[in-house]
Amino acid sequence: MHQIRRATEITFVLTLAALLLGGVMLVAGQAIALIAGQGAWLEFCNVFIKTPMCLAASICAIAGFLLNYKRHQKQGLTPEKATTR
């Protein structure tokens, strides 16, 4: 069970890093495209940066949920009880 948690933690960290890097690249790419007046560059950013970034965000969110859920379950707490403490 520890190996599954470790794999989930690694997945969370890697996808979070990819998401943050993708966000910086997307915003910078869009800013450069707007300054240069190149609509094709905006399309490039949306196709090749935004789509993988959204995938990384989804995987990161699922991994984060699993890590949070397992933490509460291990302590014998449900998420509702954990927030009222």
Per-residue pLDDT 10s for the chain (85 aa) are 688 889 999 999 999 999 999 999 999 999 999 999 998 999 998 889 999 999 999 999 999 999 887 665 556 655 566 565 5
**Position 2 in a domain:** no
45: closest CA among 36, 12, 59? 36
Q: Which domain holds residue 28?
A: 7-79
Q: What is the pLDDT of residues 16-36, one digit of tens each?
A: 999 999 999 999 999 999 999
Does residue 85 belong to any structural domain of this protein? Answer: no
In a domain, 1, yes or no: no
Query: Is position 84 within any domain?
Result: no
Whether 37 maps to a domain, the answer reads yes
Number of independent structural domains in the chain:
1
